Amino acid sequence: MSSKCPTCKGRGKIIKEKMTCPSCLGIGKTSFTLGEAKEGQACEKCKGTGKIILRDKCPTCGGKQSVQLCSNCRKIIKEPTSSGLCSSCEDKKVPVVYSLKPPIDSRLVRKGMLLLSRVDAVKKVGVFVQIAPDLNVLIRTKDVTQDYAWDIGEEVIVKVNFINDQGKLFGNPLNIDDYATESLRGRVRKLQINNLNQDMEGSFISLNAQVVSVLQTSGPTRFTLADQTGSINGAAFIKPGERAFPEIEEDMVVAIFGEINKHRDILQIEIKDMEALDAAESSILVKEIEKAIDKKANPQKIDFSIKSELLEKLRPDLTKAAKRIRKAIFTGQPIIIRNHADADGTVAGFAVKMAIKNLMEKEGYDNDTIRMRLKRLPNKPPFYDAIDVTKDLDFALADQERFGDKLPLFVCLDFGSSTESLFPYLQIKSLDLEVIVIDHHFPDKEIKNLVDIHVNPYFVGGGYELSAGMLGFELARIISSDIHDVLLHLPAIAGLMDRVEGKELEQYIKLAESKDYTIDDLKKIGIAVDYEVYQLRFSEGQNLLKIIFGVDTSREWHTKMYTLIGNETREMMDKAYRNALPHSKVKELTNGVLLVTIDVELYTHRFTFPNPGKLTGLIFDHHCHE
């Protein structure tokens, strides 16, 4: 069998020597020439590289770009043999037994060929053994031996001794213990994933890809496949709930043979056969895939939605975070989004999830896979709680065991900069998992040194000019810029609800006003979000939040919902605030700062909205206003 040369990687030549260009002395440009007004032109000899590369014919393939591999041991054969075996295997006189694989072509079967088969039926005329679906060999009764039990499904080696004019096959069984196997396939187009399109539905193709994940459903086994050009889903079916190709595991590099079809209007491959590639071919493809994914994960540089020096200073960190999240999408790694359970954190989590989901859909993920690989969870305390991280890790490990999923990437929004999150982060890092933190609260240096990516305005000389919802919105745009118009009014809601002040908020409010929202509208939406998030407790409430935020819903539903909840919640907050305010105590400290205290155990309601934290914020606003 022929394969790409592992030494020269199919180029036919290898680099013999690299030397400094004698013409430009390694500079890569020619010197200034009087009279011609030329300076800095690329050197013609080295084409501006400054180096001369001397190449030689590849010693392994002799410049042919490919090599012949022994069909038995897969070693390189320097001098091809008629049997396809290396001299070592030929000396052992090991017979080759062929296994017909999809696409099946009966014309490949020749007289004298040894074939793998299974007993299909026992009749008076003899035993029919199946060498492929709908293709049998008849072993006449007189040729049936005692070497086999001839049970239905039993594997039999059969030698073809006659093919009649109608193409029917006749043979006799052989009992041999030592033999080499080789696949025998019909002609098939070998493509890459980006070559596949809707017009090819029904076509039989082959491709080499890496298995990103394996999911056993109650029906078929579903594989997520990726090569250097993209990713696609594949499905293989034996019978309901039975694992197809159990020898194929996650991260293996395989050759896939199957038919292109659609599942829920998304292109997929109905896998007919799949086999693991050898180590040399696998290594080459894995490197190409890693290189392609790393390049693809680089987000396109876009302008921020507002003018902000602070955002520009944060661009490298935001881009780094976006690239890591995009890479997780392209490699099939699950993502857990944790956001603080208030309006600001919810805006950040909602926007980032929308962007990730949008990119997943572009990559061909179906709804079931998106639900399994992307989770957004509200975080009640303003830090990563030990209970929450324990549940997150346990569920992730359970999904890995049950579905073969990779362990997740953690994205923490609007919390996680303080040392209260240190122990949960240490638990995550103990499993070699990565954590991204997008926050605007004052950070502790221990966290910066522990997490993988930490985006925070304080690191670039900022303060409270940007909220997490604003940062999450800009991060979402970098991940997938398509969501810009849909979520344009969200950062203003986040900033207003988190009491941010400055030119950044003013610009975000103008963006929201361009979508016909007033400041009062934005505050009502924010209050409605606060209320619903409180009632949802540990559920993300994505569908309800879509209506309140006005995303993928009618403007009428959106307006009615946020107006109703916003007005009702304002009354609840005003009543609770008026009842609690007389019980607050004000004390002026020696430095002139007013210290306001209230006994929340005595003078605030428990388990109702607004909670003590929200109520103390209202009392704080009152004294600031005074």
Give 138 or 610, the one with higher predicted confidence.
138
Q: What is the mean pLDDT of residues 64-68?
A: 81
Co-location of 165 and 202 in the same domain: no
The confidence band for 36, taking pLDDT boundaries of 50, 70 and 90, is: very low
* Domain boundary residue, one of 161, 185, 209: 185
Co-location of 123 and 53 in the same domain: no
Q: What is the pLDDT of residue 128?
A: 96
CB-based burial, 92-127: b 16+ in 10 Å, e otherwise:
eebebbbebbbbbeeeebeeebbbbbebeeeeeebb
Co-location of 180 and 260 in the same domain: no
Q: What is the mean pLDDT of residues 501-526?
A: 95
The confidence band for 6, taking pLDDT boundaries of 50, 70 and 90, is: confident
Residue 413 in domain? yes
DSSP state at residue 459: G
Weakest mean pLDDT among 67-76, 192-201, 595-604:
67-76
Q: What is the mean pLDDT of residues 73-79?
A: 74
pLDDT digits (tens, 9 = 90+) for 304-316: 999 999 999 999 9
Q: What is the pLDDT of residue 93?
A: 64
The confidence band for 37, taking pLDDT boundaries of 50, 70 and 90, is: very low
The confidence band for 594, taking pLDDT boundaries of 50, 70 and 90, is: confident
pLDDT digits (tens, 9 = 90+) for 259-277: 999 988 889 999 999 999 9
Residue 559 in domain? no
Q: What is the mean pLDDT of residues 179-185?
A: 88
Q: What is the pLDDT of residue 91?
A: 64
Co-location of 87 and 100 in the same domain: no
pLDDT digits (tens, 9 = 90+) for 437-472: 999 999 998 999 999 999 999 999 998 999 999 999
The confidence band for 182, taking pLDDT boundaries of 50, 70 and 90, is: confident
Co-location of 334 and 446 in the same domain: yes
pLDDT digits (tens, 9 = 90+) for 551-562: 988 899 999 999
What's the CA gap between 117 and 119, in Å, rounded?
7
Give 504 or 49, the one with higher predicted confidence.
504
Q: Is the pLDDT of residue 604 over 90?
A: no
What's the CA gap between 328 and 373, in Å, rounded?
10
Co-location of 361 and 506 in the same domain: yes
Co-location of 106 and 80 in the same domain: no
Co-location of 357 and 477 in the same domain: yes
pLDDT digits (tens, 9 = 90+) for 482-493: 999 999 999 999
* Residue 513 belongs to domain spanning: 309-517
Model confidence, pTM: 0.74
* Domain boundary residue, one of 92, 108, 143: 92
Residue 555 in domain? no
User: What average pLDDT does the structure give for the chain?
Assistant: 89
Residue 560 in domain? no
pLDDT digits (tens, 9 = 90+) for 210-260: 998 888 889 999 998 999 888 899 999 999 999 999 999 988 999 999 999
The confidence band for 41, taking pLDDT boundaries of 50, 70 and 90, is: confident
CB 219 within 8 A of CB 241: yes
Q: Is the pLDDT of residue 32 over 50?
A: no
What's the CA gap between 497 and 343, in Å, rounded?
7
The confidence band for 33, taking pLDDT boundaries of 50, 70 and 90, is: very low
The confidence band for 90, taking pLDDT boundaries of 50, 70 and 90, is: low
Residue 156 in domain? yes
CB 19 within 8 A of CB 75: no
Weakest mean pLDDT among 64-78, 235-249, 377-391:
64-78
Weakest mean pLDDT among 30-39, 88-97, 353-362:
30-39
CB 447 within 8 A of CB 416: yes
In the numeric block, which tokens belong to residue 292?
């392609």
Q: What is the mean pLDDT of residues 409-420?
A: 96
Co-location of 224 and 139 in the same domain: no
The confidence band for 80, taking pLDDT boundaries of 50, 70 and 90, is: low
Number of domains the chain is built from: 5
Weakest mean pLDDT among 90-104, 117-131, 338-352, 438-452:
90-104
Residue 425: which CATH number? Answer: 3.90.1640.30
Co-location of 158 and 235 in the same domain: no
Give 604 or 531, the one with higher predicted confidence.
531
Residue 534 in domain? no
Co-location of 195 and 167 in the same domain: no
Q: Is the pLDDT of residue 321 over 60?
A: yes
Is the bond leading into 103 cis (omega within 30 degrees of zero)?
yes
Percent of the chain with pLDDT over 70: 95
Q: What is the pLDDT of residue 173?
A: 94
Residue 50 in domain? yes
Percent of the chain with pLDDT over 90: 58
pLDDT digits (tens, 9 = 90+) for 345-365: 999 999 999 999 999 998 888
Residue 159: which CATH number? Answer: 2.40.50.140
Residue 170 in domain? yes
What's the CA gap between 373 and 370, in Å, rounded?
5
The confidence band for 40, taking pLDDT boundaries of 50, 70 and 90, is: low
Angle of CA points 585, 588, 593, to nearest 5°: 115
* Domain boundary residue, one of 185, 216, 235: 185
Q: What is the pLDDT of residue 137?
A: 96
Please state the three-class secondary structure of 508-539 as a single string. Answer: HHHHHHCCCCCHHHHHHHHHHHHHHHHHHCCC
In the numeric block, which tokens belong to residue 435?
């954590």
What's the CA gap between 323 and 294, in Å, rounded?
8
The confidence band for 5, taking pLDDT boundaries of 50, 70 and 90, is: confident
R_g over Cα of the chain: 33
Q: What is the pLDDT of residue 624?
A: 76
Co-location of 31 and 109 in the same domain: no
